[in-house]
């Protein structure tokens, strides 16, 4: 586990399935997380179960889905993931979704992202981490920038949301930028004895 002030990141458990089903079928969560991409919702419980079976069987060195858990009551509130981890190039792609709407705008997603990025740079010794979103998701872009990500480019009008075209915006962060940031120097998360894998 990786623990911050608001949340902890822990390994995905089978009992998280019902939360994921609910989040994947919440139109507002899907809207902000994916730009309303129809491939991400609505979904059946059986389809999410198949995805869970795959995720629970993945080698943590290649990919990992973690549960974002509120520290106050232990409630699962979202998920964080890394994928496309390339140990030779030293890079990975990350993602954060806070599925519980009452936790939006309270800093939980930003802290979850910081914890995940810190883990990848400090423990996995990566050189670069990236993520993207659609240009209408200003809350996500603010969280990325607060964490230290820099906008690196746009695929213009590549995401169709509610009949309107938006840019796909790519953000990246290098290991030296993380080390120079306040998070990298002073914000080391607590690590429980249990590994996240």
For the chain, the domains span: 2-191
Tokens of 171: 């953000």
pLDDT given at position 195: 40
Torsion of the alpha carbons at 62, 65, 68 and 73, rounded to the nearest 10: -120
pLDDT at position 57 is 66
Q: Among the ranges 83-92, 129-138, 185-194, which has the highest mean pLDDT value? A: 129-138
Q: Using 50, 70 and 90 to split pLDDT, how confident is the model at 32?
A: confident
CATH fold of 2-191: Aminopeptidase (3.40.630)
> CA 156, CA 168: separation in Å to the nearest integer?
7
For residues 159-173, give the mean pLDDT. Answer: 94
Q: Which of the residue ranges 14-28, 59-73, 141-155 has the most confident prediction, judged by mean pLDDT?
A: 141-155
Task: Give ∠ CA 66-67-72 in degrees, rounded to 5.
Answer: 140
Greater model confidence, 37 or 154: 154
d(CA 172, CA 51): 27
Q: What pLDDT does residue 125 have?
A: 92
pLDDT at 24 > cutoff 80: yes
Write down the pLDDT at residue 87: 85
**pLDDT value at 145 more than 90:** yes
CB of 196 within 8 A of CB of 7?
no
Helix axes 27-34, 17-24, angle to 10 degrees: 80
Residue 191 has pLDDT above 80, yes or no: no
67 pLDDT above the threshold of 50: yes
């Amino acid at each position: 586990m990786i623990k911050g002030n608001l949340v902890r990141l822990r390994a995905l458990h089978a009992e998280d399935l019902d939360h994921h089903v609910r989040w994947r079928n919440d139109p507002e969560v899907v809207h902000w997380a994916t730009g309303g991409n129809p491939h991400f919702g609505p979904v059946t419980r059986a389809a999410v179960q198949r995805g869970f079976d795959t995720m629970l069987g993945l080698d943590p060195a290649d990919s990992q889905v973690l549960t974002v858990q509120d520290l106050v009551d232990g409630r699962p509130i979202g998920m964080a993931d890394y994928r496309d981890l390339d140990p030779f190039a030293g890079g990975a792609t990350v993602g954060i979704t806070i599925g519980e709407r009452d936790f939006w705008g309270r800093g939980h997603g930003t802290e979850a992202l910081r914890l995940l990025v810190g883990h990848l740079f400090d423990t996995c010794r990566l050189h670069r981490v990236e993520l993207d979103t659609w240009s209408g998701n200003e809350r996500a872009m603010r969280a990325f920038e607060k964490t230290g990500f820099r906008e690196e480019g746009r695929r213009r009008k590549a995401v169709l949301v509610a009949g309107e075209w938006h840019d796909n915006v790519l953000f990246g962060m290098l290991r030296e930028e993380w080390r120079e940031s306040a998070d990298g120097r002073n914000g080391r998360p607590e690590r429980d004895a249990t590994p996240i894998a």
